[in-house]
Amino acid sequence: MTEPTGSIIETGCNRLVKARDGYLIVNINDAYIGKSVIKYGEFSQHELDIFSQLVGKTDNVIEVGANFGTHTVRLCQLASQGKVFAIEPQRIIFQALCGNISLNSVFNCHCIQRACSDIDNQEITIPELDFSKPNNFGGVPMIENSRSPLNDKTISLDTLFSSLDKLRLLKIDAEGMEEKILRGGRKLIQKTRPALYVENDNVEQSESLIREIFSQNYRAYWFISKLYNESNFNGVDENIFGDIHSFNVICYPIEAEVNISGFTEVLDPKYHPLSSKS
């Protein structure tokens, strides 16, 4: 029997799509991640190629900002005998994440709906979006110290994972909260010394973020990748994202013996590839 490709079922603004790593419930109004999965059957495959070199079958992974699970499903396949902790604060997106984990019969994933930061129990607002209208649902910043009926409470990685003794990869994509999340995970990072994969696409916040990484005795390397993958799962030649890239840093403990080639090491915290001063 031939596997179906492309869209399978659509109900309202949600569509079930056959993607590279399994079936995914995707919002058709999602401007980047959802749009990419529908068009190409994948999102940011170059990142997943890197994770495939990092994560082994017995490893543990923490993914802060899991969205609806495009990377989570693959990480769970890589760490098939380990655990993946997928953290997503947005309610509707979290529900899609849980659906996608269940849909693909993934049993080693722990989905957690929390907002991570550097301290516990701080008031934070997670905006409720209209998912029936086009938007970049993965690009919504949380509002700290806000008095709103939608308020939630933050939690640090140190509190959330106080009993975790082994961690291979800590991936953070949290719309400007990356530095605070790293600060809130210092004990965990010191204890487990994982590889870090951190979004760094904000020029104004980059220097402070890099200095935090350095302060935890890590070396950082730029990983810049185009959203469009010529070898995409659906074999689509059209590039709907043009020259849009994602900017991340991949980081290793200074004591780790790793052979890094093809990546530019971050030596000057003030430098960012997107900066007009660079």
* Pairing status of strand 264-265 against strand 245-253: unpaired
- Predicted TM-score (pTM) of the model is 0.94
The yes-or-no verdict on residue 197 having pLDDT over 50 is yes
pLDDT one-digit tens code per residue, 52-81: 999 999 999 999 999 999 999 999 999 999
Nearest to 223 by CA among 198, 259, 248, 251: 248
The pLDDT confidence band at residue 259, using thresholds 50, 70 and 90, is: confident
Given a contact cutoff of 8 angstroms between Cβ atoms, the answer to whether 43 and 36 are in contact is yes
Unique residue bearing structure tokens 């309202």: 12
**Amino acid letter, residue 148:** S
In the chain, alpha helices (H): 33-40, 45-54, 72-78, 91-103, 157-160, 178-183, 186-192, 203-215
Unique residue bearing structure tokens 């008095």: 147
The yes-or-no verdict on residue 243 having pLDDT over 60 is yes
Return the ∠ at Cα 18 (arms to 126 and 37), rounded to 5°.
45
Query: Does an H or E element contain 198, and which?
Result: strand 195-199
In 138-202, alpha helices (H): 157-160, 178-183, 186-192
The yes-or-no verdict on residue 3 having pLDDT over 70 is no
Mean pLDDT of 112-137: 92
Mean pLDDT of 103-110: 98
Three-state SS at 138: helix
Q: What is the pLDDT of residue 257?
A: 85
The yes-or-no verdict on residue 278 having pLDDT over 60 is no
All domains of the chain in start order, with CATH:
44-265 (3.40.50.150)
Q: What is the pLDDT of residue 141?
A: 80
Q: What is the pLDDT of residue 144?
A: 72
Query: Does an H or E element contain 262, and which?
Result: none
pLDDT one-digit tens code per residue, 151-194: 789 999 999 999 999 999 999 999 899 999 999 999 999 999 99
Q: How far is CA 151 from the centre of its chain?
A: 23
Q: How far is CA 144 from the centre of its chain?
A: 20
Three-state SS at 257: coil
What is the sign, positive or negative, of the torsion defined by CA atoms of 236, 241, 242, 246?
Answer: negative
Please give the mean pLDDT across all residues of the chain: 93
For residues 94 and 111, give the distance between their C-alpha atoms in angstroms, rounded to a whole number. 8
pLDDT one-digit tens code per residue, 26-47: 999 999 999 999 999 999 999 9
DSSP conformation class of 247: E
* Pairing status of strand 151-155 against strand 143-144: unpaired
Q: What is the pLDDT of residue 127?
A: 83
Name the phi and psi angles at 16, rounded to 5. Answer: -90, 125
Given a contact cutoff of 8 angstroms between Cβ atoms, the answer to whether 196 and 213 are in contact is yes
Q: What is the pLDDT of residue 2?
A: 40
Given a contact cutoff of 8 angstroms between Cβ atoms, the answer to whether 175 and 139 are in contact is yes
